Structure 1
Amino acid sequence: MTLIKVDEVAKICNVKQQTAYALIAKINKEMEEKGYLVIKGRVNKEYLLKRFGIGETKEDASN
């Protein structure tokens, strides 16, 4: 698990820092609702990429 800060979220999502903070808060809220512990101001990179549909999928890996 990799936790990333607002700068990296902004870069990945191509948004300003203010929007990145809002995304972090939303993702962390989702994770808390699923029973995960979260750290304010940081987000799980893998979960963020999954939610945005970014990165390798199982179909991509099999090709």
Structure 2
Amino acid sequence: MENKNTENISLESKLYTAQEVATILGVSKTTAYREIKRLNAELEAQGYITITGKISKRFFNERAYF
């Protein structure tokens, strides 16, 4: 049975991957994973659910220096 209250929200459009973070920051993919891990730890400390290797675009853009 389909839940009519659920909207089709693409998580892909709300999250950056490690490759995207690496490209944005101009760093290696390994460094991007390290930064994502650090940022996700901040989110977890605030009670948010995180996904390994991905970061909220909104949170990343708030924390990035541009």
For the superposition of Structure 1 and Structure 2, which TM-score range results when normalised by the shorter chain? 0.7 to 0.9
Q: State yes or no: 1:39 paired with 2:51.
A: yes
Read off the aligned partner of 2:51 and give its amino acid letter.
I
Moved over 2 A (4+): none
Name the CA distance, whole Å, in 2 between partners of 1:49 and 1:26.
Answer: 14
Instruction: Please give the residue correspondences for 1:16-55 in structure 2 after superposition, counting only pairs within 5 Å.
Output: 16-54=28-66
Cα distance in structure 2, aligned partners of 1:45 and 1:53: 14
Q: Please, what TM-score do these two structures have when normalized by structure 2? A: 0.75
Structure with larger Rg:
2
Amino acid at match of 2:62: K
Q: Identity rate of aligned residues, in percent?
A: 35
Structure 1 alignment gaps of length 5 or more = 55-63
